[in-house]
Structure 1
Amino acid sequence: MKKIQAGHLSKKHLKKLRRLQRHRLTIVSRRATILILSYQGRSCSQIADMVGLHVQTVRNWIKAFNSADRKGRWNLFKPQPHPGRKPTFDEKVQQGLLDIFKESPRKYGFSDSRWTLHRLAEVAVRTGLVSSISHESVRRLINKSKHSYRRLKAWLKITDSQYDRKKRWRDWAVAWAKQDATVSAVYQDESWFSGNPRLVRGWVGPLHKGRVIILQDNLPGFWVLYAAMDVEDSRVHRYYAEKCNNRQVKKQLLRLLKHYEQLGKRVLIVIWDNASYHKAGRLRRWFRRYNRWAKREGRIRLLVIRLPKRSPWLNPIESIFMHTKAQVPGPLPYYDPYELKRLVELHFEEREARLAQTR
C-alpha cells in the first residue's frame, strides 16, 4: 500500500504553514500541523496520535491538500460555513412584533404601560401572529431588528464627606426599629406625577440612545405623592397633595404619627433625604416643639434622620417610585390627572396584595 504523504512543499509554503499553526482556530492549526508532520516523514497513524484525531481524518486531509491546485489548497484551511436549519420565524413575524410594542399594552388588556418579553409573546399568540412563541425567541427577533431593551442610567458620585457616619446612623436606626417592638422606622420621600411621559426603560431603535419624549405643556393638572415605606413590612403609606412644601410634609408626618401611635409605638423614626422642604427652619422648629410636647404628655416621639447627599440608593422608596412610573405612566401621556391617580393607587394596592401573600 502506497504511503500517504504531503506533496512537495517549498520553503515559502513551510513558512506559511508554520504561521497557520499559530492561528486562533484549532481546526486551522491542526491542519497545518498535519501537513508539516507528514512532510517530515511521519506516518498517518503517528500523526493521528500526536494531534488527537482519527487516522482516516488525517488521510482525508492530506489527500484533499495534494489533489487541490495551488490556489485552492489554501482555501481548504478556511472553515466551511454550516447553514443549519431554516429559521422558525420569518421577517413577517419580526415586523409584527415591532408593530405590537409600538402600541400601548393597555390596548391588549394589561394594567400598565410597559412591554415585557412575556407580554409580547402572549399578544403575538393572542392576535394570531404565531401559533406559539417563547420570550427568548421574541428577544432574538427584536435584537435581530437592531432594537434593544435599555434603561436610562445616571451615575452618581459620593460628594458627602460625612457619608460613612450618616450611613451608620441610618443603619443603627433601622436595626433599632427591628429589635424594639415599640419603635418604628419609615423611609419618607415625595415624587411628582403628571400626565407627561417619562424617560423610562423600554425598547428603543438602533438610532436612538433613549426614548425621545416631547413634553406637552397643555396637559391638565399634576400632583405630588408623599410616600413612607415601613422598614418591617415594606408597606407604603400614601398621601396626595397638589403642592410640595414643608406644610404638606408636616401633614404627612402628623398622619404617620397618629397611625403609629394607635399601634402602640413610642418612637417613630423618619429617614429621608436633604430636600429643601425637609430642612426648612419652620419644620425644624416644629420638630422641637412637638417632641417637647410629646415628652410632657407621654405621646409618641419623632426622630428624623437625614441621609447623605446625593445617595438615592440608601432610600428604597426611590426604586419604588421609579418602578411605579415605569409601570403606570410609562412613555404615554395622560390627559386626565384623576385617572392617572386612580391607576397609581391601583398599582400600590396590587403591590400590597402581593406583599400580603408572601408574609
Structure 2
Amino acid sequence: MIRYAQSDDAFAYGFEDEVWWSRTAQPALHSWCSDQPFRLVEKQRAKDDPDGPAIACYGCYLPSDNQMLLRFVDGRPVSAVTCAFLTWLAAHFTAKGKRALFLIWDNATWHNSKIVRTWLKEHNRLAKQQGSCRLIICRLPSKSPWLNPIEPKWLHGKRAIAEPVRTLPMDELIQRICDYYHCQPLDPIAK
C-alpha cells in the first residue's frame, strides 16, 4: 500500500495518532551535568492557573515529506472530534491535489466507533462524486504502538520541549510544540 501511494503523485500516506501534552508531567529523560545530578520533577499547578493541566493533540506524520500536521483539541479525543480532524485532513490534501490519503492508525475506541465508520463511508462516497480526497483507513494491530512511526516523534517532541524550571502557560506550550514540529498553530478543534 505504501509503495502504491509512493508510485503516484495523486496519492499520499500518513500515520495518525493522538497524544496528550502535559504542562506539569515530565518525560523520561537522561541528562548530564557537571555539578550535581539533574532531575526533572513533576510540577504543581497554581490554584489560580486558568489553563488546564494538559491539552490533547491529533497528529498526522507524513514520512514522504518528513512533516507533521497537528491540530489541538478543546477537551479530549472522541468520535466527533476525530471526524472534525479527518474533515480538516481531507480538505488539506484536497487543496494539495491528492485524490486519496492512505491513513494508518491504531485501534483506539474512537477510531472504531460507529460515528467515525459512518462518517468515513459518507465522506468517501461524496469525495468520489466531487473528486476530492478520499480517506482509506489501514488499521494497525491492537497493542502495537511500535508499528506506528508517529509514536517516537511524540516522545522526542516531549523531551525537546520539556521545561525543568517552570510550568509553561498553555499558549507557550502550544507554540513550543508547533516550533518543534515546524507547523503553524491553528485554532483548536472544538468538541
TM-score above 0.5: yes
Q: Structure 2: how far apart are the matches of 1:342 and 1:212?
A: 21
Q: Structure 2: how far apart are the matches of 1:223 and 1:308?
A: 26
> 1:339 corresponds to which residue?
172
> 1:253 corresponds to which residue?
86
Q: Find 1:241's aligned residue among 68, 73, 87.
A: 73
Q: Does 1:225 align with 2:57?
A: yes
Q: Structure 2: how far apart are the matches of 1:333 and 1:306?
A: 39
Q: Structure 1: how far apart are the matches of 2:164 and 2:140?
A: 31
Identity of aligned residues (%): 28
Q: Which has the higher contact order (CA 8 A, sep 6+)?
A: 2
> 1:183 corresponds to which residue?
11
Name the SS for the 1:201 alignment partner.
coil
Q: Structure 1: how far apart are the matches of 2:100 and 2:24?
A: 39
Q: Does 1:194 align with 2:27?
A: no
Q: Does 1:296 align with 2:124?
A: no
> 2:100 corresponds to which residue?
267
Question: In the alignment, residue 55 of structure 2 is paired with which amino acid?
Answer: W
1:300 deviates by 2.1
Please tell me whether the aligned partners of residues 287 and 302 of structure 1 are also in contact (alpha carbons under 8 angstroms). Answer: yes
Structure ranking higher in helix proportion: 1
Q: Find 1:285's aligned residue among 86, 98, 118.
A: 118
Name the SS for the 2:24 alignment partner.
coil
- Alignment TM-score, normalising by the size of structure 2: 0.80
Gaps of 5+ in 2: 34-38, 184-191
> 1:216 corresponds to which residue?
44
- Cα-Cα RMSD: 2.3
- Alignment TM-score, normalising by the size of structure 1: 0.45
The alpha-carbon distance between structure 1 residues 333 and 310, as it changes in their structure 2 partners (threshold 3 A), is farther
Count residues with an aligned counterpart.
173
Name the SS for the 2:21 alignment partner.
strand
Q: Structure 2: how far apart are the matches of 1:232 and 1:212?
A: 35
1:340 deviates by 1.2
The alpha-carbon distance between structure 1 residues 198 and 233, as it changes in their structure 2 partners (threshold 3 A), is same
Please tell me whether the aligned partners of residues 260 and 268 of structure 1 are also in contact (alpha carbons under 8 angstroms). Answer: yes
1:231 deviates by 2.8
1:321 deviates by 0.6
Q: Does 1:322 align with 2:155?
A: yes
Q: Structure 1: how far apart are the matches of 2:12 and 2:105?
A: 14
Larger Rg: 1
Q: Structure 2: how far apart are the matches of 1:212 and 1:334?
A: 12
Gaps of 5+ in 1: 1-172, 206-210, 351-359
Q: Structure 2: how far apart are the matches of 1:178 and 1:204?
A: 42
